[in-house]
Chains A and B, each alone.
Chain A
């Protein structure tokens, strides 16, 4: 049952992380991020008690809320995608598929290194790390950078939860997640200043 639930969480994370790459509406981005934290909660639950695992989802949802509330108060961002890389949907689909395939291939090896954490946990963690890095590589927009970093950290936290159960580490990682959201919000407001001021 637990394993089935974990695999459902992995599928959910494939959908959310890929969705974050394709969807441009910030509202959907925030919703997808929040759902992604739910998947992360399920995977963390494989190794941590409910109380500690829920720290992840609560901190994640708070971070998503911080970003969403900040973004909702700003004018629409410029439609021009600031990116040096090809940013068409077909390219993103190709890149996301490549990441999924690479993750599928390396999962058994990494799982062995990570003290046999379980395929769904390792797979889910690596998937978020890969998709997050891809996200960071193809965009320079502040909201997407913040979401990309939070996705990478989510993936890392899933994998790290299999080997580290310290309360202090859980608390510090939650603080870092919230800090990233706050910094993202700060930069979002700062970057919108010019847009509102420029004619």
Chain B
């Protein structure tokens, strides 16, 4: 048994088999249970250590060789796998409530496995190929064969596909920079290629126009899943570049660029969210701001920034899951998610309305919610290197908070004497309730996920030490 078979090949095989099942509940339970199992194994069964159970000996090897290249999951990545598959379980269990399990669970498994492969592949530059395959699998997940694809899907496909050539070429150029570090022209070319590749992959301003379109046109829950898994793994992949190339890590220009780009994402995400009149687009801009927070974390002194980066991951996973599930429930009960159509929806879908507001507030660093501890640490770290940067971050956060209060005003603005007419299913209420409790718990007791996060910086050789 080896780790890549367990956490990459097995989930792909399971995903293919799950395509044959049509029952939402069975899919959701099977997918969620398997994801939990993979997370538990990743957290508690050490890789490369022989376990003796009676006369039976079990050892999970870290590597698998395919066509002369390797997939390697070192023991230090166990906690990351636990985090990824644990969060995946959350999405899969919620899939039944969103009525999207038939698409989300099978294809979601395959996408997660490919994204894990992108972290495991050696040489690591080939990750771009696995990410591209995940993008291609995301298309049938986003669109149904019975309805025409919107502009957002096409733009998503184009932008994400264009990232791959840039990353692969940047990887080759970076090897040249390592060989001749004094060649400034080559350094600039490789940095430009790398920057373009990550700008497309992470949907950096102004290449994020597909995100609001995608949320408008498709199931918010499925888009939310993609907005969680793709940027999360891409950021870790990007941190891998910093870990491997000392000239990148020690470049003050790169730190500055990451800070400016991160602030641009936070400020545009926050301020655009504040002016939207569509509940789905607010989530889209919220997720853009989330990516900005991650970039800002990478721009700090990495001994501080890397733990903050990992602290952002669980908050983003739970926040987006609750937000997108809430929007899916709201979307079922309104004609469109525009403010005009969603007026007073709180009286029809109270938990979904509350979930949406709590998730928006969490993204906007509202105290006692999941997003607060990581953003507070980030803000403090940023203020130590740039007061101006901290002020701009505050503007982005204020924008997100304004969008939350505007949304609250709209969904609670029912006509006079309108009664309550609840239309949420018990499953939806349960999942939304649990999600909101999770957001509060993570905000009140951020140390509760430390057992997962504490060892994560060990996956890097140089970062976070």
Residues of A near any B CB (own CB < 8 A):
113, 129, 136, 140, 142, 145, 148-149, 152-153, 156, 159-160, 163-164, 166-169, 171-173, 175-176, 179-180, 182-183, 186-187, 189-194
- Residues in B neighbouring A183, C-beta threshold 8 A: 136, 139-140, 157
| A166-B68, A179-B136 as given contacts; A187 in contact with B149, CB under 8 Å | yes
Q: Do most interface residues of chain A lie in helix, strand or loop, or is the interface mixed?
A: helix
Q: Could you tell me the distance between the alpha carbons of A100 and B154 in the complex, rounded to whole angstroms? A: 26
| B140:A167 contact, CB within 8 angstroms | no
| A113:B189 contact, CB within 8 angstroms | yes
- Residues in A neighbouring B136, C-beta threshold 8 A: 176, 179-180, 182-183
B144 interfacial by beta-carbon distance below 8 Å: yes
| B126:A193 contact, CB within 8 angstroms | no
| A160-B165, A160-B169, A168-B67 as given contacts; A190 in contact with B148, CB under 8 Å | yes
- Residues in A neighbouring B140, C-beta threshold 8 A: 183, 186
Cβ contact of A193, chosen from B67, B132, B146, cutoff 8 A: B146
B69 interfacial by beta-carbon distance below 8 Å: yes
> Can you list 21 pairs linking A and B with CB atoms under 8 Å apart?
A145-B158, A149-B157, A152-B162, A156-B164, A164-B168, A166-B67, A166-B68, A168-B66, A168-B126, A176-B129, A180-B136, A186-B139, A186-B145, A187-B139, A187-B153, A190-B143, A190-B144, A192-B148, A193-B145, A193-B146, A193-B148
- Residues in A neighbouring B158, C-beta threshold 8 A: 136, 145, 148-149
Cβ contact of A142, chosen from B132, B149, B172, B173, cutoff 8 A: B149
| B69:A166 contact, CB within 8 angstroms | yes
- Residues in A neighbouring B161, C-beta threshold 8 A: 149, 152-153, 180
Most buried by A among B129, B161, B164, B169: B161
Distance in Å from the Cβ of A60 to the closest Cβ of chain B?
Answer: 16
Per-residue interface assignment for chain B, residues 131 to 142, with 1 indicating a CB less than 8 Å from any chain A CB and 0 otherwise: 011001001100
- Residues in A neighbouring B139, C-beta threshold 8 A: 183, 186-187
Distance in Å from the Cβ of A114 to the closest Cβ of chain B?
Answer: 9
Q: Could you tell me the distance between the alpha carbons of A16 and B332 in the complex, rounded to whole angstroms? A: 47
- Residues in B neighbouring A189, C-beta threshold 8 A: 145
- Residues in B neighbouring A145, C-beta threshold 8 A: 154, 157-158
Cβ contact of A168, chosen from B69, B132, B151, B165, cutoff 8 A: B69
B425 interfacial by beta-carbon distance below 8 Å: no
Q: Could you tell me the distance between the alpha carbons of A176 and B154 in the complex, rounded to whole angstroms? A: 16
Cβ contact of B145, chosen from A159, A163, A172, A190, cutoff 8 A: A190
B418 interfacial by beta-carbon distance below 8 Å: no
Quick one: closest A residue to B169, CB to CB?
Answer: A160
Q: Could you tell me the distance between the alpha carbons of A189 and B139 in the complex, rounded to whole angstroms? A: 13
| B149:A191 contact, CB within 8 angstroms | yes
B147 interfacial by beta-carbon distance below 8 Å: yes
- Residues in A neighbouring B130, C-beta threshold 8 A: 172
- Residues in B neighbouring A175, C-beta threshold 8 A: 133
| B165:A169 contact, CB within 8 angstroms | no
